[in-house]
């Protein structure tokens, strides 16, 4: 099946630094990628929808200047958490929609755990 990878799988950083998370579709082209955030024992909250070659669409309440999303190619989207603070500590999960399949199935990455000290 389709594989989506994320890098890094976990990161610890100091407050005020920026962190970049990569999401790659390894064996298919993803015209659309999604970024989710999940706090402990909670569900996934959609942060933004990323379309290749265009600006990301952010969900209400998500600061686009804080969570920078770039989708420069059909296989790579990046999420940069700028000036990270402890409250940004969370599990970040990306997913990619395979434009070549008839069903609207998203393939999820394994997630990136961010801890901001």
Which residues form the interface with another protein (CB under 8 A)? 32, 34, 36, 41-46, 49, 57, 60, 91, 93, 95, 97, 103-111, 113
- The least distance separating another protein from the CB of residue 44, rounded to whole angstroms, comes to 5
- The least distance separating another protein from the CB of residue 111, rounded to whole angstroms, comes to 5
DSSP-derived secondary structure for 27-53 = SS-EEEEEEEEE-TTS-EEEEEEEETT
Biggest CA pair distance of the chain:
43
Strands 106-108 and 19-25: unpaired
Nearest Cα residue to 33 out of 17, 19, 21, 41: 21
Nearer to another protein, 44 or 82 (CB): 44
- The least distance separating another protein from the CB of residue 16, rounded to whole angstroms, comes to 26
- The least distance separating another protein from the CB of residue 101, rounded to whole angstroms, comes to 11
Nearer to another protein, 16 or 100 (CB): 100
Nearer to another protein, 49 or 82 (CB): 49
């Amino acid at each position: 099946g389709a594989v989506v990878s994320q890098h890094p799988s976990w990161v610890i950083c100091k407050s005020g630094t920026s962190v970049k998370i990569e999401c790659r579709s390894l064996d298919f082209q993803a015209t659309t990628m999604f970024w989710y955030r999940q706090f402990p024992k909670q569900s996934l909250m959609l942060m933004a929808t990323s379309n290749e070659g265009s600006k990301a669409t952010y969900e209400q309440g998500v600061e686009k200047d804080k969570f920078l999303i770039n989708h420069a190619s059909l296989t790579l989207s990046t999420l940069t958490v700028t000036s990270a603070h402890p409250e940004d500590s969370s599990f970040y999960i990306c997913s990619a929609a395979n434009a070549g399949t008839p069903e609207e199935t998203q393939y999820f990455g394994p997630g990136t755990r961010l801890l901001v000290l």
